[in-house]
């Protein structure tokens, strides 16, 4: 018999709210079975949810997370999914490196502006 999970099981295990899980379900990223009003999540849903949460921590968009979930294929060893993940990681790393350069440039500009303001204040105080 296949392992299944309730919404509260997943919420507790992954330290998220049931509302978060329902949101991802509404987005079509999870597809639990229904028994009346009860949602029954499969091992695949659990893996998908873990991928979404990991992707969000890495800064991936929901669309990127969805793409990775769609590539999930344990029968093939997840080759396509893993290659796609590596490409997304490289892309995210490049974005972060550019942001870091932008921040460093802004810090230099702030330093220059601060020095000019302090020099102007010093000049104003010495002539007053």
pTM for this prediction: 0.75
State pLDDT tens for residues 29-66: 999 999 998 999 999 999 999 999 999 999 999 999 99
Q: 36: alpha, beta or left, given left = phi > 0 and alpha = psi -120 to 50?
A: left
**Alpha carbons 28 and 113: distance in angstroms, whole number:** 49
Consecutive 10-residue runs of the chain (128 residues): their mean pLDDT?
91 96 94 92 93 93 92 87 94 96 98 96 86
109: exposed, middle or buried (Cβ count in 10 Å: 0-12, 13-18, 19+): exposed
Domain ranges of the chain: 4-70
Answer CATH for 4-70 from 2.160.10.10, 3.40.50.410, 1.10.1660.10, 3.20.20.70 = 1.10.1660.10
């Amino acid at each position: 018999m296949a392992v299944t999970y309730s919404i509260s099981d997943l919420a507790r295990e992954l330290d998220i709210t049931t509302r978060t899980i329902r949101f991802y379900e509404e987005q079509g990223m999870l597809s639990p079975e229904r028994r009346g009003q009860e949602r029954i999540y499969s091992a695949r849903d659990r893996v998908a949810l873990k991928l979404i949460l990991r992707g969000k921590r890495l800064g991936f968009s929901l669309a990127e997370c969805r793409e990775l979930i769609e590539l999930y294929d344990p029968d093939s060893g997840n080759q396509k999914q893993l290659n796609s993940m590596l490409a997304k990681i490289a892309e995210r790393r490049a974005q972060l490196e550019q942001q870091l350069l932008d921040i460093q440039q802004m810090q230099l500009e702030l330093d220059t502006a601060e020095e000019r303001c302090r020099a102007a204040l010093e000049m104003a105080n010495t002539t007053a």
